[in-house]
Amino acid sequence: MATATTYGARDHARAQDGTRTEAMPVVPASAWPTPPCEAGHLVWAETVAGGNYTHKVLARGTELRLTDLKGDACAHVLLYVADRPWERLNVADTVKVQWNAYLGEGQLLLSDQGRVLASVVADTSGRHDALCGTSTLVRNTERYGDGTPQSDSPAGRELFKLAAAKNGLEPRDLAPSLSFFQGVEVRDDGSLDFTGSAGPGGSVTLRAEQDVTVLIANVPHPADPRPEYVSTPLEVLAWRTEATKPGDPLWEATPEARRAFLNTAEFLATRGIA
C-alpha cells in the first residue's frame, strides 16, 4: 500500500486496525483473553517487549501481577505516591526496616516516609534484587555499543526517563529501582553473585496500598554476565481488589510491618480515606 501521499499514509494506518502483536497493550483491558480476576475487574493488560517500558497510575487496592513469560524478562520497578511524587519507593528503607535484602512474598515496598506503597502478596519466582538498581547509558554503551532508548540495547534509566516524563516527573526523580525475575546473592566477602532467572512462567503480584504511579523498564539486569543483550517479554496485568486491612497476615507479620501499615493508615485517615 502506497504511503507517499497523506491519503495513502492514512489508509495504510487504518489498515492496521485490530492487528495484534506479541508485545502491546490490550484496550480495554477487559478484552484480555484469560483474565485472572472477576469479569470487569481487569484495569491493565499489556505485554512489554524486551528493551521496552510501560507506566500506569493504579488506585489503592489494585493488584499488579508481573509474569516472566519466556525466562529472560527483568522488570525494573519504581513507585511514587500518585499525587505526591516526592514520596516514592525507598529501596534502602525497604531493605533496612525489614531486616531483609531479599524480596519475596510477604515483603513490603516502603517509602522514605515509613509508609507502605505496595505489598508483595504472591511470588512464584524468588529471583529478585533490591541492591543493584537498573542499567545506565554509560554502562550499556560500554557493554553493548549503545544504551539510548532508540537502540537495540536501551538502558533501564534511559527508559525510566521517558516513562517519568509522561507522568510529570524529571530525571532527578529517578531513585534506585527494584528488579524482579533476575536476582543476586551476597557472598561472605560482600561481593555479589548473579543468580539469573528461575525460568519461564514465574510471577510476582504486588498490591497497591496507596494510589501509586508505577514505572516499569524491562531490560537486562546490570549484573547479567552474558555479552549479548538478552531481554524477553513481560506480561503486566492489574485488577481491582481491596487494600490490606488490620488483621491481615501481611499487616500483622512483624512489628515493622504493623508500624508501616499504621503509618499509612494514619496518613490516609487525615485525608478522609478509610
pLDDT in tens, 111-122: 999 999 999 999
For residues 110-133, give the mean pLDDT.
Answer: 96
How many Cα atoms are found within 13 Å in the side-chain-facing hemisphere of 169? 28
Q: What is the structure's pLDDT at 64? A: 98
Residues 224, 73: Cα–Cα separation, whole Å: 12
Residue of 2 and 210 predicted with greater confidence: 210
Q: What is the CA radius of gyration of the chain?
A: 19
Residues 213, 55: Cα–Cα separation, whole Å: 7
| Rounded alpha-carbon distances, angstroms, from residue 36 to 40, 45, 49, 139 | 11, 11, 21, 38
80 pairs with which residues across the strands? 88, 213
Residues 257, 260: Cα–Cα separation, whole Å: 5
Look up cell 509474569; give the residue. 67
Three-class secondary structure of residue 41 per DSSP: coil
Q: Encode pLDDT of 48-84 as tens digits.
A: 999 999 999 999 999 999 999 999 999 999 999 999 9
Q: What is the structure's pLDDT at 20? A: 79
* Domain-wise residue ranges, the chain: 41-243
Between 29-43, 114-128, 178-192, the lowest mean confidence (pLDDT) is in: 29-43
Residues 24, 17: Cα–Cα separation, whole Å: 13
Contact assessment for residue 239 and residue 35, using Cβ atoms and an 8 Å cutoff: yes
Q: Where are the beta strands (DSSP E) in the chain?
A: 42-48, 52-58, 62-68, 75-81, 84-88, 108-110, 116-123, 128-129, 178-180, 183-186, 192-196, 203-208, 212-218, 234-240
Q: pLDDT-based confidence at 1, cuts 50/70/90?
A: low
Residue of 38 and 153 predicted with greater confidence: 153
Share of the chain above pLDDT 70, in %: 100
Three-class secondary structure of residue 148 per DSSP: coil
Look up cell 529517578; give the residue. 174
Q: pLDDT-based confidence at 35, cuts 50/70/90?
A: confident
Q: Is the pLDDT of residue 7 over 90?
A: no
Neighbours of 165 (CB within 10 A): 13
Q: What is the structure's pLDDT at 148? A: 98
Give the amino acid at 175: A
Which cell is 56 given?
500506569
Which alpha helices (H) appear in the chain, and where do they start and end? 6-15, 91-97, 137-144, 156-165, 255-269
Give the amino acid at 83: D
Q: What is the structure's pLDDT at 78? A: 98
Contact assessment for residue 234 and residue 66, using Cβ atoms and an 8 Å cutoff: yes
Three-class secondary structure of residue 173 per DSSP: helix
Residues 242, 9: Cα–Cα separation, whole Å: 46
